[in-house]
Amino acid sequence: MTERAKTVKLMIFDVDGVMTDGGLYFSDSGEEMKAFNSLDGHGMKMLQNSGVKLAIITGRTSRLLEHRTRNLGIDYVYQGAHDKLASFQALIAKVGVTAEECGYMGDDVIDLPVMRRVAFAASVPAAPELVQQNAHYVTGRQGGHGAVREVCELIMASQGTLDAALAPYLQ
């Protein structure tokens, strides 16, 4: 799995169930709410600073996600992507990378077409068995509770950039 993660130049994340716990929360007025984990966010920033580009492909559309991705500095965001493979193909053409230079983290069957094409596919423990079987790595942490951070650190460790990313905090 670390050999696969070593080749990642573009890491793509699903949102619900990966960056969040998968719950859909609504206020009395019908406004959608999501909880994002700050550990995950910092892991994504460290991964990005290590030279890996980040992207989001999600089936849902949310203004909340626009705010979160802007805060994290993620330039490539595909929302309302019911055909994630088509979004993936458009994304890699735009970024100028191959599928073999990509990683993807998803948690449901809608993610399988992309997971089965990338060099490194990750998932979470709550994912259906079929999704876990098609992942190269299943996190120990649940989605929305540090799973993204775990994958970011795994990629950086495999690429030899984790120590440098953590060094400023150890001085």
105-122 per-position pLDDT tens digit:
999 999 999 999 999 999
Residue 62 has pLDDT above 80, yes or no: yes
Sign of torsion, CA 107 116 88 150? positive
Q: How many residues does the chain have?
A: 171
- Which superfamily is assigned to 2-163 in CATH? HAD superfamily/HAD-like (3.40.50.1000)
Which pLDDT belongs to residue 34?
Answer: 87
Residue 2 has pLDDT above 90, yes or no: no
Q: Which residue has the higher pLDDT, 136 or 31?
A: 136
Which pLDDT belongs to residue 119?
Answer: 97
Q: Phi and psi (nearest 5°) for 66?
A: -60, -45
Q: What is the mean pLDDT of residues 64-81?
A: 95
111 is in an annotated binding site: no
Q: Would you list the DSSP string of 43-56? A: HHHHHHHTT-EEEE
Which pLDDT belongs to residue 31?
Answer: 85
Give residue limits of the domains in the chain. Answer: 2-163
- Cα distances from 8 to residues 89, 90, 133, 167, in angstroms, run 16, 18, 20, 22
16 is in an annotated binding site: yes
40 is in an annotated binding site: no
Percent pLDDT > 90 in the chain is 89
Tokens, residue 130: 């079929």
Query: Could you tell me the pLDDT band of residue 27, with boundaries at 50, 70 and 90?
Result: confident
Residue 50 has pLDDT above 90, yes or no: yes
- Name the residue among 163, 160, 135 with its Cα closest to residue 7: 160
Distance CA 133, CA 135 (A): 6
Which pLDDT belongs to residue 32?
Answer: 84
Q: Provide the CB-side half-sphere exposure for 120 (13 A, CA).
A: 24
